[in-house]
């Protein structure tokens, strides 16, 4: 046989592609915790326990748009979805293992929309972002079907779609423009067929509009980054610290405790969770009455309000006197988290991942 036959192995994703997927998925997994915190802030501002967080759902999909735009290979966003979901799970997502499926479906839908559109431009990214962001509503309903009204599902899915169009598609496209101009590495193929034409024929007015868009995008990135730094420095408590809680504020003896510190007061009640999205039929819950914990901290005379706060910033408020007289309000342990079981209140008050209570 003449010559030598050289076998060369060609991989679908290059090392650079895998690095991009790993880095952006890791960043997205961590930042999605912050996006959840922003959603909880919106819930508090609008005075609803669920739904308002869909306004920022596009931020979860933003990372898949970046991966798809930088790699330009079918399956890149899907791979990023799987990895991002795993990162979210390991960093303490309040949704548990379900977040892996939600993230995987979102990445898969980005790939599917871009495959059907056959173009990587602003319109295709906006459509992919919208469809992907809206999918989380339906995945959660399939996993946790609660008989919620179809009109409500439709309403919050529309909110999610719009958020995905703006915060994932449009915002992602603008960030990709910045990356293309900086050129830290070569992007596979032409970034956007329309962009090359605009670059060649750009007049002064179009150039000014593009500079304005880039400036706005840079400002949004800075604001989100500053907010994330504040959240992880001052609010977030990692799940590996264990289920502990602190009572502070207008109390004589601020305390940090575990439920085992009050095990002699453990009690069991039967309660039904009646939420706007989730419904759990009557069942037994075992935990420590909240009034017992508060009495240990000795609320000061005149204290009127209790705030119960979760690790992601979600907060609910109660009348202090009502809490001290309520035998159906428990702090219960579920896995590695503390949960407030509020038997006399609607589901929005059943806070997961409780880590702080403030008396005012």
Instruction: Provide CB contacts within 8 A for 261, sequence distance 6+.
Output: none
So where are the chain's domains? 15-235, 241-359
With a cut of 50, say whether residue 5 has pLDDT above it. Answer: no
Phi/psi at 270 (5° precision): -110, 125
Which of 47-51, 54-58, 301-305, 313-317 is predicted least confidently? 47-51
- Residue 110 and residue 68 in contact, taking contact as beta carbons nearer than 8 Å: yes
Q: Is 231 left (phi over 0), alpha (psi -120 to 50) or beta?
A: alpha
pLDDT per residue as tens digits for the range 226-242: 877 777 676 666 665 56
Which residues are CB-neighbours of 293 under 8 A, at least 6 positions away? 245, 247, 255, 257, 262, 331, 357
Instruction: State in Å, rounded, how far the first CA of the chain is from the last one.
Output: 88
Q: How confident is the model at residue 40 (pLDDT cuts 50, 70, 90)?
A: low
What pLDDT is stored for residue 58 in this prediction?
87
Host H or E run for residue 211: helix 204-230
Residue 308 is classified by DSSP as: E
Pairing label, strands 337-342, 329-334: antiparallel
The CATH class that applies to domain 241-359 reads alpha beta
The verdict on pTM exceeding 0.85 is no
Measured CA distances, 258 to 55, 232, 255, 296 (Å):
35, 23, 10, 13
Read off the pLDDT of each residue in 297-306 and give the average, rounded to a whole number.
Answer: 91
pLDDT score recorded for residue 24: 92
């Amino acid at each position: 046989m003449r010559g030598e036959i050289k076998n060369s192995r060609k991989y679908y994703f290059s090392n650079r592609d895998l690095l991009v997927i790993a880095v952006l998925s890791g960043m997205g997994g961590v930042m999605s915790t912050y996006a959840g915190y922003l959603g909880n802030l919106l819930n508090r501002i609008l005075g609803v326990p669920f739904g308002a967080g869909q306004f920022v759902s596009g931020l979860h999909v933003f990372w898949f748009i970046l991966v798809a735009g930088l790699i330009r290979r079918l399956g890149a966003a899907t791979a990023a979805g799987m990895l991002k979901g795993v990162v979210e799970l390991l960093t303490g997502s309040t949704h548990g293992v379900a977040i892996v499926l939600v993230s995987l479906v979102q990445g898969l839908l980005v790939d599917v929309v871009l495959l059907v559109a056959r173009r990587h431009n602003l319109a295709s990214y906006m459509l992919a972002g919208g469809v992907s962001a809206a999918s989380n509503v339906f995945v959660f309903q399939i996993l946790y079907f609660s008989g919620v009204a179809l009109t409500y599902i439709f309403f919050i899915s529309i909110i999610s779609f719009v958020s995905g169009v703006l915060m994932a598609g449009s915002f992602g496209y603008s960030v990709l423009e910045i990356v293309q101009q900086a050129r830290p590495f070569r992007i596979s193929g032409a970034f956007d067929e329309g962009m090359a034409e605009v670059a060649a024929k750009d007049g002064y007015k179009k150039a000014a509009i593009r500079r304005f868009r880039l400036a706005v995008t840079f400002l949004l990135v800075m604001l989100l980054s500053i907010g994330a730094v504040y959240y992880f420095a001052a609010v977030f408590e990692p799940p590996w610290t264990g289920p502990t809680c602190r009572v502070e504020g207008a109390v004589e003896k601020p305390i940090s405790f575990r439920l085992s510190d009050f095990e002699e007061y453990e009690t069991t009640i039967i309660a039904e969770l009646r939420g706007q999205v989730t419904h759990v039929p009557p069942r037994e819950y075992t935990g420590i009455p909240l009034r017992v914990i508060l009495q240990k901290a000795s609320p000061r005379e005149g204290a009127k309000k209790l705030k119960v706060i979760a690790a992601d910033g979600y907060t609910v408020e109660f009348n202090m006197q009502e809490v001290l007289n309520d035998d159906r309000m428990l702090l219960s342990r579920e896995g590695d988290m503390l949960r407030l079981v509020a038997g006399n209140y609607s589901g929005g008050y059943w806070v997961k991942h409780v880590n702080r209570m403030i008396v005012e």
